[in-house]
Amino acid sequence: MQDRDEPAQLTLAAWLELLDPVSSTVPSNAQSYTRYLQTAKRKIRSSKPHQKLALLRSSAQDLTPQLDEFRRRLLTTLQALDKPLESVFFHNSSRLEKWFYPFTIVNIFVVGLIMGRFPQLFHVYYTAMLVLLMPVRFYTYYKTNNHYYLADLCYYVNAMCILFIWVCPYSVHLYQSCFAFTFGTLSFAVITWRNSLVIHSVDKITSCFIHIMPPLTMYTIHHTIDEQLKQTRFPAASLRASKTWNLKTNILWTSLYYLVWQSAYHYFITLRKSSKIRSGQRMTSFEYLTTHQFKNFWAVKLPDPWPMLLYTLFQYCYQLGTMMLCSIWFNYRRAAAAFMLFIFWSAAKNGATYYIDHYGRKFEKEVAKLKEEVENLQNQLNVRTEANSASDLTK
């Protein structure tokens, strides 16, 4: 006889009694429909899965006060950190910039050292820097109401790279799509969006990082890592899996990945947050372009939703156009290295332009202001001298 304290085993007959009490497997002539239903329910409630579920529910209810207390403490801690972080990143940023300047210089050196001496560790360094810089980018953008920018394609491609490196290193279509996106859209965005290598600026260096480091990571994995290591660590990048570059196949896969991102972007940002975007509370790439650089462009003046549709179509064509050269970067190491050098040179040139224009104009304004003050003092001195001479003549 089964002990009453021991939970009953959940049998197939019990489920059948509950789901279908008039089944031929159930002796309906022995008991009534109601009694079969009650018996089935009682057996299910006394089964081990049901008891574990009930225990889990009771434990969750018991932990509710502790969870509420944890949330309250976490919120208090974040609020306490907000003021010093706001002071560091916004009110007293010069001190941060003094430390970030040598940090950037050292990191440029470390990037070259790892690529040349330890290429098998470059993806680890890329991941570590991404984990370090992205929270800062999220905080600064959130405080300035620019966090919708974090849903742009460049961040999506970085997420794809992390997915390939740490989760799906065997996926050939994911690897080649990452290669196409990084050597295509992200690399050319340095030129089109004028990313600047301003080495003291956290914001500008972070922008350069999310556009330059992913293609450098793909370059290192594809061209510099030993083939034996590829087969064990990155099977999708080995010659066995990615010997050739098939343009049609990669257009198909990159289009699918692009469709996933674009669909999610339009649903969560364009549609669900449309009121905040139209009121000016939030800014997106589309809103910035249509209200600043291309506000007088003919397509912007079209009725909705044509501007957004044309922008989406142009962005997709831009992605396809920039990836057309990826077969060269994929098959020829020196060509890929020269291309990466050109992208870095473009960012450095934009940074030099920023320093010369920004600080040069600032210096010119200060010199002009100083010259004006000197002229005013000279005029005042001349007036006083003339007044003193006139008074001496009258005496």
Q: What's the confidence (pLDDT) of residue 357?
A: 86
pTM of the model as a whole: 0.77
Least confident of 150-164, 188-202, 238-252, 284-298: 284-298
**Nearest one of 215, 241, 244 to 336, comparing CA atoms:** 215
30 pLDDT more than 50: no
All structural domains of the chain with their residue ranges: 98-353
Q: What whole-number distance in Å separates Cα of residue 155 and Cα of residue 152?
A: 6
**Nearest one of 319, 337, 321 to 329, comparing CA atoms:** 337
Q: What whole-number distance in Å separates Cα of residue 355 and Cα of residue 344?
A: 17
Tokens representing 212 are 């330059």
Q: What's the confidence (pLDDT) of residue 260?
A: 96
Mean pLDDT of 331-350: 96
149 pLDDT more than 70: yes
Mean pLDDT of 277-295: 84
Q: To the nearest whole percent, how much of the chain has pLDDT over 90?
A: 54
Q: Any idea which residue has 């320093």 for tokens?
A: 355
Q: pLDDT higher for 66 or 244?
A: 244
